[in-house]
Amino acid sequence: MEKNVALALILTTLAGLSTTLGSLLGLAIRKPGARFMSATLGFSAGVMVMVSFVELLSGGIESIGFAYAHFCFFIGIIIIFSIDFFLPHEWAGHQDLPRNQKDSKLLRMGLLVALGIGIHNFPEGMATFAGTLKDTRLGIAIAVAIAIHNIPEGLAVSAPIYAATRSRGKAFLWSFLSGVAEPVGAGVAAVFLLPFLTPTLLGWLLAFVAGVMVFIAFDELVPTSRSYDQGHVAILGMVFGMAVMSLSLWLLR
């Protein structure tokens, strides 16, 4: 049992910190242009939407049923909307804003994405932990799937923060912190929730997080992506992000 717990924590840590790979990918490009930012943010929105509906919400439905899962889903939307409402802002075309205003909006968006991904990673850490305790092979499969998901998520955090601050250190730090939420989730499960962690409780958490992720994608990522390029770059990036995530889910089934 102790060996399984240790392996679960190791797998969860590796999966969570794969966000740093996405962060390094985003930082490899020194001066991201408008089209790159539009495509990147669109891609990230596609990843978040696909993960939310195909993996998180569906997992909630499977665990607690259609009605309860959708109730949690919309509660997640309402809560993140309330946070957004009490931090009011106006979405204007980024190309028409002074430099300091563009940077402020980009930084705020990047931090919100980091928050959303951190919330998302927390129950995923619990899922990896519980899966590994049940079956080592199942835990490894879950960890690999989550690691693949986390690479573009790290890109989603680092790209806007770097564009706003021109600081590779800050971009990497926030991406790293969003991934750390995953082993933290596993640690909480190990210390506090292991005796009570059930498919029902996990289902409530997954459906709730799906609502948070969908709101961030449509309220923050998509409008900002469109503000950089009024053509089809944003939607193409979003579709490509959804396709990549669908492929990864199919290959790991």
pLDDT for res 91: 39
Exposure of 108 by Cβ count < 10 A (0-12 exposed, 13-18 middle, 19+ buried)? Answer: middle
pLDDT for res 99: 47
- d(CA 154, CA 176) in angstroms, rounded, equals 8
Q: Tens place of pLDDT for every residue, the chain, 253 residues?
A: 555 778 888 888 888 878 777 777 766 765 557 787 788 778 878 887 887 898 788 888 998 999 999 999 999 899 878 877 765 444 334 444 444 545 666 677 667 767 766 776 776 677 677 667 766 776 776 677 677 667 767 777 777 777 777 777 777 887 787 778 778 877 877 777 667 767 788 788 778 878 888 887 888 778 878 887 777 888 998 999 899 878 877 776 6
CB atoms closer than 10 angstroms to residue 169: 10
pLDDT for res 69: 95
Question: Hunting for tokens 């309860």 — which residue is that?
Answer: 68
pLDDT for res 3: 58
pLDDT for res 104: 66
| Residues 216, 113 contacting (CB under 8 angstroms) | yes
Residue type, 246: S
| φ/ψ of residue 151, rounded to 5 | -65, -55
pLDDT for res 72: 93
pTM equals: 0.65
- d(CA 59, CA 55) in angstroms, rounded, equals 6
For the chain, the domains span: 2-26+88-204+220-251
pLDDT for res 75: 94
